[in-house]
């Protein structure tokens, strides 16, 4: 079994090295690679990435071809060479110990994906802004109703998948954060097998969040309706 860790990076010069160090010190997976995608950063992120890659042959790096998280994730998937793929943010918000739990579950059980939730018993959430929290819970509640799903954290990026399933889900229509909604919705609507586990999350210490509520709201709505329509058509 093997794992590709895809990390999109936009202006993460203060976080990316710490993220890599955290993975190296805590990961229990033996066969893994890290794929860094520089998403048109305007700070010294690319310089940091190049410096990191010089020291480790299991880390690959690509520049995005079109600005946006969706395109960055697609590049990472195309260039991954392992059986499983996990998407990890570069801001130290995700817990590497949860990554180990993801891998243990997907490699030992007959499932196509493992979804983490920050809103279950035994989950942990630290420093989540109240305005974003309210909108998050509202949107996830609406999404659950649309898809009759037991999952409650669709918009969380941190999930693990079988690469062969991700390939079958293409093409992706989302070019930004909404890619993290499109993928699990397609998993559910196309009836792939998944399980849900509690995870922990803490807000970034360095840099600014790239998630802009007003800017991305319409994109999330488009993705929700697109995937819902696909679900309806699949039923027919």
Q: What pLDDT digit, counting tens, does each position of 24-34 carry? A: 999 999 999 99
Confidence (pLDDT) at 127: 92
Confidence of residue 235 (pLDDT cuts 50, 70, 90): low
Hey, CA dihedral for 174, 226, 213, 126, is it positive or negative? negative
Mean pLDDT, residues 213-235: 82
CB 196 within 8 A of CB 123: no
> What pLDDT score was predicted for residue 214?
54
| pLDDT score, position 205 | 77
d(CA 179, CA 156): 10
Q: pLDDT confidence of 216, banded at 50, 70, 90?
A: low
> Which of 73, 103, 104, 98 lies closest to 202 in space, CA to CA?
98
Q: What's the mean per-residue pLDDT of the chain? A: 92
Q: What is the pLDDT of residue 183?
A: 97
Residue 115 has pLDDT above 90, yes or no: yes
Q: How far apart are CA 33 and CA 214, in angstroms?
A: 35
Which sequence spans correspond to the domains of the chain? Answer: 3-235
Mean pLDDT of 76-103: 96
- Report the pLDDT averaged over residues 18-24: 96
Token output for 63: 């520049």
pLDDT value at position 171? Answer: 93
How does residue 231 score in pLDDT terms, banded at 50, 70 and 90?
Answer: confident
Is residue 117 within 8 Å of 198, Cβ to Cβ? yes
Quote the CATH superfamily of domain 3-235.
Answer: Spore Coat Polysaccharide Biosynthesis Protein SpsA; Chain A (3.90.550.10)
pLDDT of 236 strictly over 60: no
- With 60 as the cut, is the pLDDT of residue 124 above it? yes
Segment 172-210, tens digit of pLDDT: 999 899 999 999 999 999 999 999 999 999 997 766 665
Over residues 13-37, mean pLDDT = 96
């Amino acid at each position: 079994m093997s794992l590709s860790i895809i990390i999109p990076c936009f202006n993460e010069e203060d976080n990316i090295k710490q993220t890599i160090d955290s993975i190296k010190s805590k990961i229990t997976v033996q066969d893994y690679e890290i794929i860094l995608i520089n998403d048109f950063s305007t700070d010294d992120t690319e310089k940091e990435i190049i410096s990191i890659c010089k020291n480790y042959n299991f880390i690959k790096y690509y520049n995005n071809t079109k600005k946006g998280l969706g395109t960055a994730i697609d590049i990472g998937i195309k260039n991954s060479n392992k059986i499983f793929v996990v998407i990890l943010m570069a801001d130290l918000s995700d817990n590497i110990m949860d990554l180990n739990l993801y891998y243990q579950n997907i490699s030992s059980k007959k499932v196509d994906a493992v979804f983490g939730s920050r809103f279950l018993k035994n989950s942990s959430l630290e420093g989540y802004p109240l305005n974003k929290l309210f909108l998050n819970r509202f949107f996830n509640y609406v999404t659950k109703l649309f898809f009759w799903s037991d999952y409650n954290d669709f918009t969380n990026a941190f999930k693990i998948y079988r690469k062969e399933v991700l390939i079958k889900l293409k093409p992706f229509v989302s070019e930004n954060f909404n890619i993290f909604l499109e993928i699990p919705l397609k998993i559910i609507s196309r009836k792939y097998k998944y399980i849900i586990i509690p995870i922990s999350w803490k807000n970034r210490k360095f840099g600014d969040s790239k998630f802009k509520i007003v800017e991305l709201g319409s994109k999330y709505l488009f993705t929700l309706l697109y995937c819902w329509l696909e679900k309806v058509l699949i039923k027919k």
